[in-house]
Structure 1
Amino acid sequence: MDTLTLNLEPGQDLHQSLHQLASDQQLSGFVLGVVGDLSEACFQCPGQPQPTRMQGVLEVITLNGTVSPQGVHLHLSLSDGACQVWGGHLEAGTTVHKGVQLLLGLDAATAQTAPISQERVELAVLPGCPFCHRARQLLERQGIPHTIISVESDSVFEACQKRSGLRVFPQIFVDGDYFGDYTALQQLHQSGQIESLR
């Protein structure tokens, strides 16, 4: 099974982003993991005539279900500021607060042709890793579009290890293939060729 990491930015709609990704790239699969928070949530509770809407800083607990070009069917659970847990069928209007990171498992039929990321460059980082921080700063200073893969779970770690064959970080991928570590990125910059990553 191949995986796809998706990082959503503040203000993006969780439901619409997944629907758009599956439609544009003809992806079918399911959600393996999620971490992040929301500023607004919209979900359909069982037996209720209208969706429930909540606002505030809402921590995502789980997101389960499937994505396909025909649509998404996802169930969300989240915690509010009082640590009360809510949940139901995910609806459009669910907005990312600081960020949401998702790991998707792709069906074999679509994994062969699916791009690994929305950007050419992916940077897999461990929280607190100084060389990961330097690599991220270098990409940001040079204005190179990139996707951050934050390695905060065993499943994400194993997915990165499978792609690179390595257990050290940062790991940089270009067009889905392993490129190298911070040293390789720095050497590319010093040679004046970092623009080739755009």
Structure 2
Amino acid sequence: MHAVPLHLEAGSDVRRSLEQLAQQHQAGGFVLSVVGNLSQAAFACPGKTAPTVLQGELEIITLQGTLSPDGVHLHLSFSDAECQVWGGHLEHGTLVLRGADLLVGFLTEPAQQPGQPASQARADTGLIAEPRVEIATLPGCPFSRRALRMLRTLGIPFLEIEPTAEGSVPQIVIDGVAIGGYDALAELHSRGELEALRSL
């Protein structure tokens, strides 16, 4: 892993800036640290269909999650002028007030093409491992796209397959055990239980 500093000027869109950084480096990584403030925060709360937007002088507390050339999955928390803490999924429209400094850690591994299992992306390096994850998806399914993006961003080898039965997708199997769909995968990620599946 190598660390890359990122300074954001006033008015910068935090999410868009991180997406551009990942595309420039063509690598996946993690936000390691952040300090700064915001004039506007846009974040998705659980169960709501539209982002919540707050304005004012907002102090960033944490920004954590993953990024890749295919997109980002980041959680933001911040405090308002009354020291009330807010947070949720980082959305476009989160704007820097005076400045923000971030440190991003990029994984030093071959870039992965969309739809390509991580094990194939590492074929030239001899670091191929038998995928422990199988994922059944359907084209156009937003939850399938989110699950695939999470696996790619985390560097987890997977085998993409066709659904074997009617029902919701994605259908995810880890080490031969069906765990459910995107929400189950995200829950495992939040508990740090996907780390053992990574192949670096």
TM-score interval (norm. to shorter): 0.5 to 0.7
Mapping 1:145-184, distance limit 5 Å: none
2:30 is the counterpart of 1:30 = yes
Match of 2:171 in 1: none
The equivalences for 1:59-74 within 5 A come to 59-74=59-74
Q: Distance in 1 between matches of 2:30 and 2:110?
A: 12
The alignment partner of 2:109 has SS state of helix
With normalisation by structure 1, the TM-score equals: 0.54
Checking the alignment, whether the CA contact within 8 Å between 1:21 and 1:27 is kept in structure 2 is no
Contact 1:28 1:110 in 2 (8 A): no
Match of 1:78 in 2: 78
Structure 1 residue 101, shift from structure 2 partner: 0.5
Q: Give the RMSD, CA atoms, in angstroms.
A: 1.4
Aligned equivalents of 2:101, 2:110: Cα separation in 1: 21
1:13 deviation in Å? Answer: 0.2
SS at match of 2:37: strand
How far off is 1:37 after superposition? 0.2
Structure 2 alignment gaps of length 5 or more: 112-200
Number of matched pairs: 111
- Determine what percentage of the aligned residue pairs are the same residue: 59
Q: Is the CA contact (8 Å cut-off) linking 1:61 and 1:79 kept in structure 2?
A: yes
Q: CA deviation at 1:49?
A: 2.0
Question: Residues 143-170 of structure 1, C-alpha deviation per residue, up to 9 Å, x if partnerless?
Answer: xxxxxxxxxxxxxxxxxxxxxxxxxxxx
- Point out where structure 1 has 5 or more consecutive residues left out of the alignment: 112-198
C-alpha distance 55-110 of structure 1, shift in aligned 2 (>3 A): farther
Q: Which amino acid aligns with 2:36?
A: G
What is the Cα deviation at residue 76 of structure 1? 0.2
Runs of 4+, deviation exceeding 4 Å: none
Q: Does 1:97 align with 2:106?
A: no
2: CA distance, partners of 1:12 / 1:72: 16
Query: Within 1, Cα distance between the matches of 2:86 and 2:4?
Result: 27
Shift of 1:74: 0.3
Deviation at residue 109 of structure 1 after TM alignment: 1.2
* Cα shift at 1:24: 2.6
CA distance in 2, matches of 1:105, 1:96: 21
Deviations 1:30-83 (A, max 9, x none): 001000000000000111121100000100000010010000110000000000
User: What secondary structure, in the 3-state scheme, does the structure 2 residue paired with 1:30 have?
Assistant: strand
Amino acid corresponding to residue 109 of structure 2 in structure 1: A
Separation in 2 of the partners of 1:10 and 1:70?
26
Distance between the aligned counterparts of 1:91 and 1:97, measured in 2? 16
Find the aligned partners of 1:52 and 1:37 in 2 and give their Cα distance.
Answer: 17
